[in-house]
Amino acid sequence: MLEVYPILLSETEATKEGAEGVYAIIRNDYAKDENGKSILGREYGYEMFGAQLHGPIPTEPRAGFATAKDAEEAARTEYREWRAGNIPAGTKIKRHQAWRTAYRLDRYLDYMNEDDLCERYWDIMNNLLTLTEDRKIGIVPPDEMMDYWSAVQTHVLEECVLKQFAYPHPLDRCPDKHQVPDYDWPGIEQAAGAYKARTFIPGEFLIKFGKYKYLSAAYEKGEIRISPASSYSDSSLNRAIRDEELEMSIYFHPSRMKNKGLTENPDDLDPPVKPLGNVVHTLKAPTNYYVYCLAAEYSYRLFPDFEADCCLIINKPKIFIERLVNAMLAQLPDWRAFGTGVRYIDPLNTTEKDLDVFFCKHFKFAYQKEYRVIWIPPISQMVLPCVDLTVGSLKDCCELVRL
C-alpha cells in the first residue's frame, strides 16, 4: 500500500508572528524495479518543504531508509543540523541563507537587547542608503563593502528571528531622524549640478562641507579654524557629526574569548556560570589632539548630514594639506602631524590590534569616507582651545560650491 504523510519538523507551524513551518513528506515508494516502477514498502524517504523559512532547507529528496520511523528520524536530525548551521560543503543556497546559516554558527549578537539591535540595524542601514541625483532615497551602488553591510544586516534580522520577535519589531523604529538622508535639503539640486559639471577621480580630491560664511573666508583668505577632538562630543551636534573622539569601545562575545584559566581548571565551577554579556574593551586616547576632518567623496547626502550650504572642493589636496600642516606647526612646532583616511570599525567584529583611537571611528560613519589631519602634542594635554590659522588664498588649489 502506498504511504504518503507529512510530519512537522519545526517547533511550530508558520504563524503570523513570523515563526517558520517546516515539514517533511514521508513516502514508501522510493524503490524502483527494472522498469522504473515503484516497489511500495521496500524503501522509505522524505522531501522537505516549508513556509516563512528562517534559513535554507534541503531541496533534494532523501531516500534509502528501511522504515518510516527511520525516515522520520533522519528528517528531524537533518533539519536540526541545518538550523544549527551544519550544512554540507558544496551546497548551493541563496546569499541571505548563507549569511543566516553562518550567523547561527557564531551568534555574536545574542546579548544585545531590542534597543541595541535596533540601533545596530539603523547604523548599518546608514551605510546602505544614499541620496540620488533626483533627490530620492536609494541604495548605494555595489562595491567591496556592499556584501559586508548586507551580511551584518542579515545577521541582525536572524537574531530577531532567534529571539522570536514579531517582524518588523524592533526594527520598525528609527532611533534618530538624522539616520535617513534628507532629500529636501535646500539647494540640493545645485549639488547635483556641481557634480555633473566636474570630474572626480578617486584619490585626487578632498571635500570640506560646511557653512558658506566660514568656507568663503577659507577660500578667499585661507582663514581656517582647527578644533580639538573633544569638541565633537558636544551634545548639540547632530548624529552625523557627534562622536566621542577620545575613546572607542569594542565588544567581545564570550564564545570568542580564550580564557586559559577556565581551560586549565575545567572543574572549578560545575555547572559553569553563564556569561551576563559581552566583554567590553575601551581604548582611551592618552591626550586630546587637534583634528581637521574632510571627505574623500562628493556625496549629496553629506550636505544635509553636515548641515552645509557650501563645500570646498580641494582638487590639489597635497598642496592644501601641506599649507594646513605647516601653518599649524608654525604655532605648535613640537607637535606631530599626520594625515590619512579613517579606518571604520565594527565594534562587534574586530580585535584590539585593529584599534587606533586617533584614526578609527565607529562603522556607522563609514559612508562619510573621512580623511583627517591630526596634530598630537609632545606631552599629554586634555584641555585644548581652538586654533585659528591663516594659510593664504586657496583659489589655486580649491573650488567653492555654494548651494
Q: Read off the pLDDT of residues 296-354 as tens digits, 9 standing for 90 and up.
A: 999 999 999 999 999 999 999 999 999 999 999 999 999 999 999 999 999 999 988 88
Helix ranges restricted to H, 210-295: 212-221, 260-264
pLDDT tens, position by position, 141-196: 877 788 899 999 999 999 998 898 887 888 888 766 556 888 889 998 888 888 88
Task: Name the grid cell of 140.
Answer: 548605494
Measured at the CA of 383, the angle between CA 379 and CA 388, to 5 degrees, comes to 95
For residue 93, the tally of other CB atoms under 10 A from its CB is 16
Q: Element (H or E) spanning 314, and its range?
A: strand 310-314
In this prediction, residue 400 carries a pLDDT of 96
Rounded Cα–Cα distance for residues 25 and 8 (Å): 9
Q: What is the pLDDT of residue 258?
A: 59
According to the model, what pLDDT value does residue 262 have? Answer: 46
Each residue's pLDDT tens digit, 258-303: 554 444 455 555 666 777 889 999 999 999 999 999 999 999 999 9
pLDDT at 266: 54
When pLDDT is cut at 50, 70 and 90, the band that residue 81 belongs to is: very high
Which residues, other chains included, contact 247 with Cβ-Cβ below 8 Å and sequence gap of 6+? 282, 283, 284, 285, 357
Q: Report pLDDT for 351.
A: 87
Q: Are strands 223-228 and 129-131 parallel, antiparallel or unpaired?
A: unpaired
Q: Which parts of 206-343 fold into alpha helices (H)?
A: 212-221, 260-264, 302-305, 317-331
Summarised one tens digit per residue, pLDDT across range 199-219 is 888 889 999 999 999 999 999
| Placement of cell 539591535 in the chain | 117
- pLDDT of residue 6 exceeding 80: yes
Of 6-20, 80-94, 317-331, which one has max mean pLDDT? 317-331
Quote the mean pLDDT of the chain.
91
pLDDT value, residue 322: 96
- As a whole number, mean pLDDT of residues 89-110 equals 90
Is residue 294 within 8 Å of 374, Cβ to Cβ? no
Dig out the grid coordinates for 83 from the structure: 538550523
- The pLDDT value given to residue 260: 41
pLDDT for residue 63: 96
pLDDT of res. 74: 97
Instruction: Name the residue ranges covered by the structural domains of the chain.
Output: 4-93, 104-179, 188-235+244-254+275-402
Cβ proximity of 71 and 64 under 8 Å: no
Q: Output the pLDDT for position 265.
A: 54
Q: What is the pLDDT of residue 167?
A: 79
Burial (CB < 10 A; 0-12, 13-18, 19+), residue 282, is exposed
399: pLDDT strictly greater than 90: yes
Chain-centroid distance, C-alpha 22: 31
As to burial, measured by CB atoms within 10 angstroms (0-12 exposed, 13-18 middle, 19+ buried), residue 163 is: middle
CA atoms within a 13 Å half-sphere pointing along the CA-CB vector of 151:
14
For residue 13, which phi and psi values (nearest 5 degrees)?
-80, 170
Q: Which residues lie below 8 Å from residue 320, measured CB to CB, with a gap of 6+?
A: 206, 314, 394, 397, 398
Pairing of strands 360-362, 343-345: parallel
The overall pTM is greater than 0.75: yes
Residue with the three cell numbers 514521508: 26
Of the listed ranges 30-39, 135-144, 199-208, the one predicted with least confidence = 135-144
Per-residue pLDDT for 88 more than 70?
yes
What is residue 177's predicted lDDT score, i.e. its pLDDT? Answer: 54
CA-to-CA distance for 147 and 240, rounded, in angstroms?
A: 23
From the list 96, 19, 72, 81, the residue with the least C-alpha distance to 50 is 19
Q: What cell numbers appear for 78 in the block?
A: 537533518
How far from chain centre, in Å, is Cα 368?
A: 13
pLDDT of residue 72: 97
Provide mean pLDDT across the span 223-234.
Answer: 96
